[in-house]
Structure 1
């Protein structure tokens, strides 16, 4: 898994984002210093993980709530994302601008993100401001100003975000359609950003019920990394988080299983905004905790990690049938998705681009990857992980991901070795395991002008 921050969002692909991290091939495997962390659990169920690091006078605080877009109520997509915004509206002790004052006014920063499996809030501040940040996080966990005014204002903010990120983006609706068309039953098909019609239909009592159901200490993990004393952290967490009541009701979990695909499916969507045809090919993939995760992530890097990658070199540079091409191994908590995405080059046809992609897929399934490609992919991953660990917030993110998503906090100290141990033959094996002779979903996204040439049953607007 690259990072839950990105969530492997397709918006990044269609916004021309390219990650370029350099590394030297054929270097000996680096010995990675292990991170020493402490773990404690309060009586109300709040999990606390911490790493002391006095190298700079700063501290990072993250609160991971084990609730994401997959937990949105039926016909209410976007609730988890809406709450990402609502959590900044304060309560009787916190003004709506409190987190900005507690962070930015002292030279720090704060942010939040919603993913399919989690919602995360984070702050980085000078270490002498740790106590007020812990107080503020406890305040918004225990009580929130859930009233009509705040609900309506933040709902409008989310709707405007939807308009900008989805409706104003020529391929925004395509990015949402990929999950919606690829998952038959699992709520991963719901868009994290939400749906305007369903947000408009939401009522305040539903919002309050969502908060009381998921925003509770026994569904949260607190991560603190940086310049602090363990004794102070223990005192403050007990003081501010300890009194929060643990609800007696069980936390509802998604139990829907995605059925195996029995046949290939072909979906055709039309858009008045898309300047060029695009298409995606998806295959179901395992959970992020699968033993195949490292090999799939490295396959992701080899196939589409930058302009020197296989797919870019073949489809964009050599054959010039694609304007952009990408492959993502998006492994999530319950299951994942392997997705090839292509925007067809101007003057080229959809069949040409689809055949070029099929040929490259067949080639890698048959012949595998080279040692040089694998070395490069490993170095990019290793460099990225090491760069992440250079900051307190990066360490906090890695530890939170390990504790909540992987359900193993020590994963932070074992994951790199798994990547280093992957062989070229394993890359070939996992790609064949999840792609060869497996049922696929082909999603074509065509300019409106091509609608007349489509079969009546294929004509669908996103």
Structure 2
């Protein structure tokens, strides 16, 4: 439950573990479709994923939620596949399927026996350009996404607070708009909105095919050429261009009260650099920094300083960073106070820990332990073929390359304590932060002094 405070909600299932695959083949079809094939012959199973380089951050202004809305509508059928029959067909083969939308991408996947891969490509290629939408489909599914928002966001004070904080963090960039959309805009989405978005962006020259499992790369390429090769690209579809975030010159603070709050907490996020193709070193240092400050509930710096000892001030602390985004990301921490600690006192205590860290530097023993754990995580991640497929798909639709994905574990291992300390000095700037308090309305009022 607490992890919901730390990472943005992904509308679907998503794994982001760093990984390196030994048998990776790539190719690009003449129509622009990029493909990645990851071999794993331990079981006769394959994961087939189609990733589109289009997410909520690419939506037209005033049409928030359209990327997620279209994700739902993609299951409404074509001339050859009846509404609802796509998932039913996958299930009939003994497989499972789903889809998810995020800021930088939308993805669809099926996991089936290897000998069903051709069928999956047949159906996925069919709906890349052949989706049929009726007004009834649109009306029904629009009600579904509004109900989904009601359940996931409107009924959860932490989720509502997260929306407000993110909007404050990104004043100009579309990362400040929720993936699921603002309610009043999602309610107004139309069939023409969906079809316009679909016809422009659901195209082979805006997509990445990832196939992972018990497959032969040459056979996968032949299938891709047969099923995806004939699909016409969208003419004139260039690189994604988004507005940029202006420099943040002053800290932004939010305080929200809600009688449904079960646990009050203080959270702060700072604008931070993302992973960039060929230049992932700063992101690697921030990844290690997050682990040092709050990656472990018992051994991290925040945990040891605030959760244990004679006068603990927190029952939970964590730090987080995910640099896998096309544009600027964020770094942050969250802390939940003990019953007798105010949010003001807890925030001051966290700031004290951060100040001590910036003054005293990185503990070498903790640093070495984290580097070993990151290496172990990377090795274990190779055992999960679905996770590998998601790593490559999310990276390639977020501006990285196959080479970047494969280089990432070694870049993490090359990080030095000096790199981490410099990253902390660059990012942990209160003028570059959004600080938020969430508590119940009956909480004692405390004046914050800066």
Select 1:305's aligned residue among 295, 299, 322.
Answer: 295
Q: Distance in 1 between matches of 2:329 and 2:445?
A: 35
Compared CA separation, residues 356 and 72, structure 1 to 2 (3 A):
same
Match of 1:317 in 2: 308
The answer to whether the aligner puts 1:43 opposite 2:30 as a matched pair is: yes
Select 1:81's aligned residue among 57, 68, 74.
Answer: 68
Secondary structure (helix, strand or coil) at the match of 1:405 reads coil
Match of 2:318 in 1: 326
Pairing 1:45-444 to 2, within 5 Å after superposition: 45-251=32-238, 253-289=240-276, 290-308=280-298, 309-318=300-309, 319-331=311-323, 332-436=325-429, 438-444=431-437
Secondary structure (helix, strand or coil) at the match of 2:397 reads helix
Please report how far the alpha carbon of residue 406 of structure 1 lies from its aligned counterpart in structure 2 after TM superposition: 4.3
> Are the counterparts in 2 of residues 102 and 133 from structure 1 also a CA contact under 8 Å?
no
Deviates more, 1:285-294 or 1:267-276: 267-276
Please report how far the alpha carbon of residue 49 of structure 1 lies from its aligned counterpart in structure 2 after TM superposition: 1.5
> Are the counterparts in 1 of residues 321 and 330 from structure 2 also a CA contact under 8 Å?
yes
TM-score scaled by length of structure 1? 0.86
> 1:172-200: per-residue Cα shift (whole Å, max 9, x none)?
21122221111111110011122221111
Root-mean-square deviation (CA, aligned residues, Å) is: 2.6
Please report how far the alpha carbon of residue 113 of structure 1 lies from its aligned counterpart in structure 2 after TM superposition: 1.7
Q: Distance in 1 between matches of 2:336 and 2:86?
A: 41
Deviates more, 1:366-375 or 1:200-209: 366-375
Q: Distance in 1 between matches of 2:190 and 2:444?
A: 38
Please report how far the alpha carbon of residue 369 of structure 1 lies from its aligned counterpart in structure 2 after TM superposition: 2.2
Q: Distance in 2 between matches of 1:7 and 1:242?
A: 43
Please report how far the alpha carbon of residue 338 of structure 1 lies from its aligned counterpart in structure 2 after TM superposition: 1.2
> 1:253-300: per-residue Cα shift (whole Å, max 9, x none)?
233111111122222233232244332222111122142111111111
Gaps of 5+ in 1: 1-5, 13-18, 22-31, 456-462
> Are the counterparts in 2 of residues 325 and 342 from structure 1 also a CA contact under 8 Å?
yes
> 1:6-53: per-residue Cα shift (whole Å, max 9, x none)?
9962459xxxxxx9x9xxxxxxxxxx9752322222221111121333
Q: Distance in 2 between matches of 1:411 and 1:274?
A: 41
Please report how far the alpha carbon of residue 418 of structure 1 lies from its aligned counterpart in structure 2 after TM superposition: 0.8
> Are the counterparts in 1 of residues 344 and 446 from structure 2 also a CA contact under 8 Å?
no
Please report how far the alpha carbon of residue 224 of structure 1 lies from its aligned counterpart in structure 2 after TM superposition: 1.1
Q: Distance in 2 between matches of 1:454 and 1:315?
A: 22
Please report how far the alpha carbon of residue 452 of structure 1 lies from its aligned counterpart in structure 2 after TM superposition: 8.2
Q: Distance in 2 between matches of 1:314 and 1:130?
A: 52
Deviates more, 1:72-81 or 1:431-440: 431-440
Please report how far the alpha carbon of residue 434 of structure 1 lies from its aligned counterpart in structure 2 after TM superposition: 1.3
Deviates more, 1:214-223 or 1:165-174: 165-174
Q: Distance in 1 between matches of 2:400 and 2:20?
A: 21
Compared CA separation, residues 220 and 275, structure 1 to 2 (3 A):
same
> Are the counterparts in 1 of residues 268 and 435 from structure 2 also a CA contact under 8 Å?
yes
TM-score scaled by length of structure 2? 0.89
Please report how far the alpha carbon of residue 329 of structure 1 lies from its aligned counterpart in structure 2 after TM superposition: 1.4
Please report how far the alpha carbon of residue 209 of structure 1 lies from its aligned counterpart in structure 2 after TM superposition: 0.8
Q: Distance in 2 between matches of 1:262 and 1:365?
A: 21
> Are the counterparts in 1 of residues 6 and 334 from structure 2 also a CA contact under 8 Å?
no
Q: Distance in 1 between matches of 2:180 and 2:189?
A: 15
> Are the counterparts in 2 of residues 378 and 420 from structure 1 also a CA contact under 8 Å?
yes
Deviates more, 1:67-76 or 1:250-259: 250-259
Gaps of 5+ in 2: none
Secondary structure (helix, strand or coil) at the match of 1:449 reads coil
Deviates more, 1:247-256 or 1:41-50: 247-256
